[in-house]
Amino acid sequence: MSEVDELVSKILSQLNNGDSSQSTGTTTASSVTPTSSPANSGKTFDKGDYPLFRKHPDDVKTPTGKAVSDITLDNVVSGKVDSKDLRITANTLRRQGEIAASAGRPAIQRNFQRAAELTKIPDDKVLSFYNALRPFRSSKQDLLDIAKQLRDTYHAPVCANWFEEAAGNYEISKKLKGDN
Amino acid sequence: MKRQKRFEKLEKRPVHLDGFVKEWDDEGLVAMEGKNDPKPSVKVENGVVTELDGKKKADFDLIDKYIAEYGFNIDKAEEVMAMDSTKIAKMLVDPNVPRSEIVKLTTAMTPAKAEEVISKLNFGEMIMAVQKMRPRRTPATQCHITNTRDNPVEIAADAAEASLRGFPEQETTTAIARYAPLNAISIMVGSQTGRPGVITQCSVEESEELSLGMRGFTAYAETISVYGTDRVFTDGDDTPWSKGFLASCYASRGLKMRFTSGAGSEVMMGYTEGKSMLYLEARCIFITKGSGVQGLQNGGVSCIGIPGAVPSGLREVLGENLLCMMIDVECASGCDQAFSHSDIRRTERMIGQFIAGTDYISSGYAAEENRDNTFAGSNMDVLDYDDYCSMERDLSINGGIVPIHEEDAIKIRNKGAKAIQAVFDGLGLPKITDEEVEAATYGSNSDDMPKRDMVQDMKAAQDLMDRGTTISDVIKALYDHDFKDVAEAVLKLAQQKVCGDYLQTSAIFDGDWNCISAVNDTNDYMGPGTGYRLWEDKPQWDKIKDIPWAMDPQHMDF
């Protein structure tokens, strides 16, 4: 799986550095400018870099590009920092994934790769995607449509694969809409 | 028959109120090594699992498919499957074999093989193995904070006290579902008042729970259930793919989460496929691992009455905790739902986990009187605090709870109650009176609390969600009402969600927001002189030694 992990990391990092207008307009939650710190393309993190809050506070950014040290009481009270700053970024999740993998837990890294893609997707969409995966909720086409949306609109190839894989398996195991 | 007097007396003992049943393999009423359990097997062809525990690929159900795809390391699987299970069981117990060596093997086996390995161990050996295999070096425990009236002031006061007593994780749920946001806010504010760094959850329906987390009202989730048979999984309204996706949803919002499973759930829900509890639980544990979820709450949990009723049931329960830890997954080891009417069996229920130490010995010690526990009661509650602390002191064991002095409890309960009073005022929620604050400070259960207008509370809860209130508003309310230190703690929690350190395996925070997890506090137990020893953790040992009811023989008045 390590090649896949590498590829995914690369894609994510390109996404983080590149196109920043993934706004869907439905909620404000996380459809904001991703950070484009130069550290993205740099070193791979490992368990020696953990915890990030103590060892790399300057590298941890909010979704609006603020430093984690900017999250202060004064800034929250004055409104300079609001709830959309209090979110983890794809980049930070990728680093936590690298740390998990270096501690011998590659499955956690794969989870964080999916999660990193989801940081860009508004809350209500994320919830609706989850509900679509529950048994007997969706037709095969519904799931494939979500996969397409994930891939094309949200640049979330790992999650798109997840939905395609589910669509195929649900068809065989009779978990699609109308199968119950 | 003429009754024998001793038998008549025995029948009146509390243990006779417990349920005991004989084994029935075909209905899954068997703890482990059931007659229908599959023999361990695996076949890997061109990087694809084509046979899993006696089943061919064409016959895989959704759970088999998921485990075959994600559950174990196929590169090493055939090698490990060929190893003698007794040999692996011996390695688990042998202090000379490091944890890291064992994890390489356990993460390359199938559920049936894992069951076979666990089945080789007796209860004492399981304790030895848990001591070595739990991921975090420092043990801890977790509590429930609830009351039957969903009284927010009592929740905040109980949470504050529980923080002072040492619980790093606290879990609430609701008596009435519509209270969820108020309970989530109350436990969070109360716990941060008691000790900065505690993380809290509110156990409600999956989608709703996630939406509370997205607003910042919770820091983690654990009641994300997985099951060992396809039919029960579906009846639980999920599939492995939906649960795996949900796991990523939580991580994407910087929220810690673990799954939940446990022996007996498939029996309770009626579809065991005739398999033993340990085999079905092994499948749940491998689903968790494959999902990349850092942790699992298991060990009977809310179905504990079922393994508790069959022979070797509590051995199986510790065995499933061990299986979770040995594949390197955080274990919140049950010891929660009320289990027995007998105080002796209540102690038995937790003794293995307690002696060995786990990431969370209890995944829900009742930090309220059991009558107020809306998770249907816990194995131990607040009225057992002094017994529990005495046991820790007697045995030099860190069970995760420290004794506290009455005056400190009063002080912190009062502050927690006042903090939530401030937040309710700041968020425009129905007023919390000074009388309620006083009652929560000195009370012990919800009968001690003045009644609130619950209809108004529920309307306000809905309104708060509709208005889009988030954690920033809670922080501002605390700040505006001169609870700057609590505001700072809630803010620090929000800051940690941006960093994600506590998404790693077995993570908790200390009072200074240092993240302590299996990454930087790796269990290094290798026999005497190694691993966590309470007396080497001087601050904690001093607290546990200092039970307020011990006499000081050097300063006694005769």
**Cβ count within 10 A of residue A22:** 18
> What confidence tens digit (pLDDT) does each residue in B279-299 have?
999 999 999 999 999 999 999
Q: Are strands B55-56 and B48-52 parallel, antiparallel or unpaired?
A: antiparallel
Active site residues of B: 142, 144, 171, 222, 297, 336, 363
Instruction: Please indicate if any CB of chain B lies within 8 Å of the CB of A60.
Output: yes
Which B positions 240-279 lie with beta carbon below 8 A of chain A?
A: 241-242, 244-254
Give which of B149, B145, B150, B148 is closest to B193, Cα–Cα.
B145
B312-to-B29, B34, B111, B307, B443 alpha-carbon distances in Å:
11, 12, 19, 8, 41
Is domain B38-139+224-361 in CATH 3.20.20.350, yes or no?
A: yes
> What confidence tens digit (pLDDT) does each residue in B441-500 have?
999 999 999 999 999 999 999 999 999 999 999 999 999 999 999 999 999 999 999 999
Residue A43 pLDDT: 86
Task: Give the pair of three-digit tokens for residue B156.
Answer: 């905040």
pLDDT tier at A9, thresholds 50, 70, 90: low
Q: Which of A88, A99, A109 sits opposite B254 (nearest CB)?
A: A88
User: Is residue B370 pLDDT above 60, yes or no?
Assistant: yes
Query: Which of helix, strand or coil describes residue B34?
Result: coil
- Among all chains, which residue has been given the structure tokens 């919770």? B218
Residue B96 pLDDT: 97
Q: Are B128 and B558 in contact (CB under 8 A)?
A: no
Q: Are B509 and B457 in contact (CB under 8 A)?
A: no
B115 vs B295: CA distance, rounded Å = 19
Interface contact A51-B239, CB threshold 8 A:
no
Domain spans, chain A? 38-119, 121-180
Domain A121-180 is in which class? mainly alpha
A155 vs A136: CA distance, rounded Å = 27
Average pLDDT estimate for B342-366: 98
Interface contact B497-A175, CB threshold 8 A:
no
User: Is residue A40 pLDDT above 90, yes or no?
Assistant: no
Which A positions 86-105 lie with beta carbon below 8 A of chain B?
A: 86-89, 92-93, 95-96, 99-100, 103-105
Residue B557 pLDDT: 76
The nearest CA of chain B is from the CA of A150 a distance in Å of 13
User: Is residue A12 pLDDT above 70, yes or no?
Assistant: no
Q: Are A114 and A158 in contact (CB under 8 A)?
A: yes
Average pLDDT estimate for A35-49: 69
Q: Are B365 and B167 in contact (CB under 8 A)?
A: yes
Residue A1 pLDDT: 41
Residue B206 pLDDT: 82
> What confidence tens digit (pLDDT) does each residue in A121-171 have?
999 999 999 999 999 999 999 999 999 999 999 999 999 999 999 999 999
The residue of chain B with its CA nearest to that of A118 is B252
Domain spans, chain B? 38-139+224-361
Interface contact B292-A129, CB threshold 8 A:
no
B60 vs B424: CA distance, rounded Å = 53
Q: Are B354 and B382 in contact (CB under 8 A)?
A: no
Contact partners, residue A152, CB within 8 Å, separation at least 6: none
Interface contact A88-B500, CB threshold 8 A:
yes
Which A positions 102-131 lie with beta carbon below 8 A of chain B?
A: 103-105, 107-112, 114-119, 121, 123, 126-127, 129-131
Interface contact A47-B497, CB threshold 8 A:
no
Instruction: Please indicate if any CB of chain B lies within 8 Å of the CB of A173.
Output: yes
Which B positions 427-486 lie with beta carbon below 8 A of chain A?
A: 470-472, 475-476, 479, 484
Using alpha carbons only, give the angle A70, A73, A79 rounded to the nearest 5 degrees.
80
The residue of chain A with its CA nearest to that of B65 is A169
Q: What percentage of chain B exceeds 70 in pLDDT?
A: 100
A91 vs A20: CA distance, rounded Å = 13
Instruction: Please indicate if any CB of chain B lies within 8 Å of the CB of A141.
Output: no
> What confidence tens digit (pLDDT) does each residue in B165-219 have?
999 999 999 999 999 999 999 999 999 999 999 999 999 988 899 889 999 999 9
pLDDT tier at B264, thresholds 50, 70, 90: very high
Contacts of B501 in chain A (CB under 8 A): 50-53, 96
The nearest CA of chain B is from the CA of A135 a distance in Å of 6
Contacts of B519 in chain A (CB under 8 A): 47, 50-51, 99-100, 103
Q: If you ran DSSP here, which 8-state letter would residue B2 be given?
A: P
pLDDT tier at A34, thresholds 50, 70, 90: very low
Residue A5 pLDDT: 52
User: Is residue A31 pLDDT above 70, yes or no?
Assistant: no
In this prediction, the answer to ipTM > 0.90 reads yes
User: Is residue B406 pLDDT above 90, yes or no?
Assistant: yes
Residue A84 pLDDT: 87
> What confidence tens digit (pLDDT) does each residue in B297-329 have?
999 999 999 999 999 999 999 999 999 999 999
Average pLDDT estimate for A83-107: 96
Q: Which of A71, A73, A107 sits opposite B479 (nearest CB)?
A: A73
Residue B330 pLDDT: 98
In DSSP notation, B403-458 reads ---HHHHHHHHHHHHHHHHHHHHHTTPSPPPHHHHHHHHH-SSGGGSPPP-HHHHH
Residue A22 pLDDT: 38
Mean pLDDT taken over chain B: 97
Query: Which of helix, strand or coil describes residue B4?
Result: coil
